[in-house]
Amino acid sequence: MDWNKTGDSALKFVATFDQGLPENILNEGHIDALGRFWGGTKGRQLGDRVAADEGALYSLEAPHFIPRIQLKPVSISNGLVWSLNNSVLFYIDSLTRTIDAFNFNLKKGQISHRRPILEIGDYWEEKVIADGMTIDKDGFLWIAMMFHGCIVRIDPDRREIVERYKLPVTLVTSMTWAGRHLDDLIVTTSRRNMDPEQLAKEPLAGSIFVLHKMGTAGAQSHKFNFPDADDY
């Protein structure tokens, strides 16, 4: 989008995902260390229920930006981060109720050897799912637990939760690091599909929370490799 233009002329087409499935949406995306865009979709949604196995995980790479399917089928593509040495991709398909790891080949932009590093069912009942995810400078994963109102910090080597923070809302959606030293944890939440009675109990639903003094900080993110981005 060119902020100095108005209407459709401000938009530049890049790519289309999940052609033939118009109710699917691009649900999560991040940039790898070589500037590729990785993004995943989710299928049709009615209320809190999402159709299973209708999405996929894609990557886009300059100069042609042709969507490359990295994983299929996917139900709800969510959290997606790389280990600090770029050898592992951590990934969440929420309906699987697992946090998965893949071997990651940075040069080729390929993933392989999928395995779970945490089973959500070991900690919570069926409705709770993992949503957005980020990583800190110490290599620990931070994950938003949707329908439970908390965020957790995971040691991916020990494959266990090491910290847990409760929030005054149920629908916790995602996180990122901010601040001069990337030491503020920004947590997003939702109020979607909540009835008036639920909203009365959770007046802060949908708010953005900032958590300070977490004892760690975020890792530097990467920029999308997009040559000629200004050429319309």
Per the annotation, binding residues for substrate are 27
From 131, 157, 184, 195, active-site residue: 131
**How crowded is the C-beta side of 227, counted as CA atoms within 13 Å?**
5
218 Cβ neighbours under 8 A, 6+ residues apart = 134, 135, 136, 137, 176, 177, 178, 182, 183, 185
Q: How far is CA 201 from the centre of its chain?
A: 27
Catalytic, 157? Answer no
CB 36, CB 225: distance < 8 Å? yes
Distance CA 207, CA 186 (A): 11
CB 169, CB 151: distance < 8 Å? no
Distance CA 231, CA 154 (A): 42
Residues flagged as binding site for a divalent metal cation: 78, 131
| Cα-Cα-Cα-Cα dihedral sign, residues 59, 63, 65, 66 | negative
Hey, which residues are catalytic here?
131
